[in-house]
Structure 1
Amino acid sequence: MLSPATLFHPFGLDISALWFNPASQNAFSVVAESASPEEATFVLGSVLVSLIVVYLAAKAGGELCVRVGLPPVLGELIGGVVVGVSALHLLVFPESGFQESGSLIMRLIEATSGVGTEAAGSVFQAESEVISVLAEIGVIILLFEIGLESDLKELIRVGPQAAVVAVIGVVVPFAAGTAGLMLLFGVPTVPAIFAGAALTATSIGITAKVLAEIQKLSSPEGQIIIGAAVLDDVLGIIVLAVVASLAKTGEVQIGNVIYLVVSAAVFLIGSIFLGRLLSPFFVALVDRLKTRGQLLIASLIFAFGLAYIGAAIQLEGILGAFAAGLVLAETEKREELEEQIIPIADMLVPIFFVVVGARTDVSVLNPFNPENREGLIIAIFLLAVAFLGKLVTGLGVFGKPGINRLAIGVGMVPRGEVGLVFVGVGSATGVLSKSLEAAIIVMVIGTTFIAPALLRIVFKEPDSPSAGTAIAPEAADASAVSAE
């Protein structure tokens, strides 16, 4: 995920809104300044209808996948594809090339509310922006929840393994993808480097959601995956800054890279250290509050505060939210807060996954379109590198006999929204050809939709406990009782 506002602005690269709605950063101000009160009401109405579509798609897709033994998050992604740019055109966005006339929701608003064609454009822009912002908040809540469910001591303990896994997961696919595109397909150097960089991403949101659903988040494998995915996110931002600078100026600005590395390390380590130091004061403050929701609201203030700091120093807001969850998980309020955050997550997190699916144009998979064929051939190569380049990360785990290395590799595979960010930056800089851009999109689609299903398969409980997942204490107690 890209941070809002000025992610790379200090480096002369303004890509703040390439992920969510680059064409309508001032949508709210447009409506506020030029729209009548009736038109502002239409914005609210269109957002409400959009949320109805989002929740119906998420619930229908999730229920269907659960019944066939697949992760619900996969159903939310598929539901998004069905209602998005690839099928029903209910949930579409201006940056995908759609106008208000292409949105069935806007047609409904026009038909039922009598909004004029000119005003419909402003309403469509604002509605898309609101849904995009809600999706951003959704993934921040998701990472905060994942942080709460994680064990900081275990993450620190597996830190060296996670670091090795993350580095392998960046270096191997980047090197293999770049070299293969240049040698096998004759792709010029800069586009090949950009495509190779897109292979380094890991979608922590998708992987973490699946691990939580299958109750493997606190397993040794789960903690290594989460730790490595967080580091991958940081490394991905650095790689993106490097290749974007290369595409724009033809040279890499070393100062920018050093700044990102130092700021990432200081932010992650510093926020966790200071958070643990100040957490007793947080608990004492919460205990003194008398109004309803004192724990939840205070925790959200803390999470959003760290998320903002992460965004302000050109990292990602989700990293700050994850760090906040890790800190609060160390307090005596952990279980109570976990229960209170679940309804918030149930309301906001599905918006993120449905929007990811809705923005995904699967028409690039159509082999009968001659324009897609070159991209599909390259996509087959990129998919192979994308899977193998992350599967080998499991080999980097050391000192863990019997651990499920295949599960670690599969958990690092999904590219999701992070891969789409690379595509957006590549398109904006003009370094990607249409065929190479389509190939990267196919790679993102394949890893995003296949990996969650594979993750559940490779994490299935073996007949013996030697395959790498820790036995729950309850199971151990039950075994002891039965043995007696």
Structure 2
Amino acid sequence: MTYLMQLVIILLLTKLGAHVSNLLKLPSVIGELLIGVLAGPAVFHLLTPTTFIQYFSEFGVIILMFIAGLEGDLNLLMRYWRPALTVATLGVIFPTASAAALCIFVFNFQWTTAIFIGLVLSATSVSISVQVLKEMHRLNSREGAIILGAAVADDIMCVILLGICVGLFGSGSAASNQSLPLMLITKLLFFVVMFALGKWFVPRFLQFFSKLTASENETTAALILCFGFAALAVALGMSDVLGAYFAGLAISETNFKEKLALKIEPIGYAVFIPVFFVSIGLNISFAGMQHDLIFITSLIIIAVLGKQIGGALGARLFHLDWSAANIVGAGMISRGEMALVVANVALSTHLIDQNHYTAMIVVTVVTTIIAPFILKIFIQQSDNQQVNSMKLNEVKQ
């Protein structure tokens, strides 16, 4: 099948899937994720993961997180940095420790392998959660700020723990040639560079482009910043989506915010972002899963509960009520690119074999598909509690 036909099928099916989701009062992202499962190798074999889909999906997730930053509130993020850090820490400890214990005491893995499997479950990717929060008007809420802040801290913790584990246990891999101190320095440098560019370079860059006579100057400037920050983040050892998010956040502090949000969203949601959602489902395959079904099911349960409980408890420590804390926990469930990186490193260092590598990919994809369902449930519960509380106050008055 040609790449053009692949794109036609993806765009057609994702819009139909999103429509059905909305009719069922579900976030549209759920329909788009399930289209990937149904159209992919798991069910109808209409589509398979290809290089074209991979590249388009990478553009999609970068633009999605750029839009999240563009619509973000830097002051809100700074206000909740402490609960975000606590949520990230507990959200790493709970699933990692639980998965490692399960692998050692139930499935008799070597403890080095068990630790790496635990690390795969420690990494959060909030790209899917961002879409749900955006659709349900919670992106710029207290819970949304904590989730986004925790995702940044979570990513850094995972990278650091990965470097330590590869240095101590790995063999036969070029995955990590940096020493741990150098890795820590590059992570710190990432934040310094992002802050400096965001504060002093981004506003001047946009002002310069706004004075040019070519068409769509400011939109092009925004995309240059989006992809430039993403590339810089990768060069400094961080996820490209974090770079894109910080680029959007920097623009959100300028006078160009509203205008650029109206320009960038159609570009992302018309083409690139649907391909990203479908690509997640395309990675699901049920072939050979019956041999590891108990193992995979156990890890999925731990992956979901570990993040849910760890995130919710972290939020509760800062006096959020249980409904808000559960939203935070659910927002941390989704896994993504960092989990795949850890799994690849574990495979290349011979700490897991191909069968268990496949199992980890399945766990990563399934938890990502489950996450928006759980997040929607907790957001609806919170909304219902607020409505009931307002009605109760009216009665009392």
TM-score normalized by the length of structure 2 = 0.88
Q: Is the 8 A contact 1:150 1:326 kept in 2?
A: yes
Deviation at 1:417, TM superposition (A): 4.2
Query: In the alignment, does 2:26 pair up with 1:70?
Result: yes
Q: Is the 8 A contact 2:230 2:243 kept in 1?
A: yes
Query: In the alignment, does 2:286 pair up with 1:362?
Result: yes
AA aligned to 1:59 is: K
> Greater CA deviation, 128-137 or 347-356?
128-137
Q: Is the 8 A contact 1:206 1:416 kept in 2?
A: no
Instruction: State the match for 2:93 in structure 1.
Output: 171
Q: Is the 8 A contact 1:279 1:327 kept in 2?
A: yes
1:90–1:421 distance in 2 versus 1, CA, 3 Å = farther
AA aligned to 2:105 is: L
Query: In the alignment, does 2:379 pair up with 1:423?
Result: no
Counterpart secondary structure, 1:51: helix
Instruction: State the match for 1:217 in structure 2.
Output: 139
Alignment gaps of 5+ in structure 1? 1-44, 94-127, 472-478
Q: Is the 8 A contact 1:155 1:223 kept in 2?
A: yes
1:217–1:425 distance in 2 versus 1, CA, 3 Å = same
Query: In the alignment, does 2:352 pair up with 1:432?
Result: yes
Query: Which residues of 2 match residues 20-99 of structure 1 at below 5 A?
Result: 46-93=2-49
Deviation at 1:141, TM superposition (A): 0.7
Encode CA deviations 1:66-123: one digit per residue, 9 max, x unaligned: 2212221121111111222212333224xxxxxxxxxxxxxxxxxxxxxxxxxxxxxx
Query: In the alignment, does 2:201 pair up with 1:278?
Result: yes
> Greater CA deviation, 197-206 or 171-180?
171-180
CA distance in 1 between counterparts of 2:26 and 2:336 reads 17
Aligned length: 384
Instruction: State the match for 1:8 in structure 2.
Output: none
Q: Paired residue for 2:311, among 375, 393, 411?
A: 393
Q: Is the 8 A contact 1:303 1:325 kept in 2?
A: yes
Alignment gaps of 5+ in structure 2? none
Q: Is the 8 A contact 1:83 1:91 kept in 2?
A: yes
Encode CA deviations 1:307-327: one digit per residue, 9 max, x unaligned: 111112222211111110000
CA distance in 1 between counterparts of 2:209 and 2:183 reads 35
Counterpart secondary structure, 2:65: helix
> Greater CA deviation, 398-407 or 312-321?
398-407
1:223–1:435 distance in 2 versus 1, CA, 3 Å = same
Q: Paired residue for 2:184, among 261, 264, 270?
A: 261
Query: What's the % identity of the aligned pairs?
Result: 33
Query: In the alignment, does 2:113 pair up with 1:191?
Result: yes
Counterpart secondary structure, 1:216: coil
Instruction: State the match for 1:348 in structure 2.
Output: 272
CA distance in 1 between counterparts of 2:229 and 2:358 reads 36
Instruction: State the match for 1:331 in structure 2.
Output: 254
Structure index of larger Rg: 1
1:434–1:304 distance in 2 versus 1, CA, 3 Å = closer
1:439–1:214 distance in 2 versus 1, CA, 3 Å = same
Q: Is the 8 A contact 2:39 2:46 kept in 1?
A: yes
Query: In the alignment, does 2:244 pair up with 1:295?
Result: no
CA distance in 2 between counterparts of 1:466 and 1:152 reads 31
> Greater CA deviation, 399-408 or 158-167?
399-408
Q: Is the 8 A contact 2:172 2:348 kept in 1?
A: no
Instruction: State the match for 1:405 in structure 2.
Output: 325
Instruction: State the match for 2:379 in structure 1.
Output: 459
CA distance in 1 between counterparts of 2:14 and 2:348 reads 31
CA distance in 2 between counterparts of 1:337 and 1:56 reads 26
Q: Is the 8 A contact 1:71 1:210 kept in 2?
A: yes
1:254–1:283 distance in 2 versus 1, CA, 3 Å = closer
Instruction: State the match for 2:79 in structure 1.
Output: 157
Q: Paired residue for 1:322, among 220, 245, 263?
A: 245
Counterpart secondary structure, 1:404: helix
Instruction: State the match for 1:448 in structure 2.
Output: 368
Q: Is the 8 A contact 1:57 1:354 kept in 2?
A: no
Q: Is the 8 A contact 2:66 2:248 kept in 1?
A: yes
1:211–1:464 distance in 2 versus 1, CA, 3 Å = closer
Deviation at 1:298, TM superposition (A): 0.8
Question: Aligned-residue CA RMSD in angstroms?
Answer: 2.7
Q: Is the 8 A contact 1:283 1:331 kept in 2?
A: no
1:214–1:235 distance in 2 versus 1, CA, 3 Å = same
Counterpart secondary structure, 2:384: coil
Q: Is the 8 A contact 2:172 2:350 kept in 1?
A: no
CA distance in 1 between counterparts of 2:129 and 2:386 reads 25
CA distance in 2 between counterparts of 1:174 and 1:263 reads 24
> Greater CA deviation, 274-283 or 205-214?
274-283
AA aligned to 2:68 is: I
Q: Is the 8 A contact 1:202 1:232 kept in 2?
A: yes
CA distance in 2 between counterparts of 1:394 and 1:48 reads 44
1:466–1:421 distance in 2 versus 1, CA, 3 Å = farther
Q: Paired residue for 1:139, among 55, 61, 64?
A: 61
1:176–1:466 distance in 2 versus 1, CA, 3 Å = farther
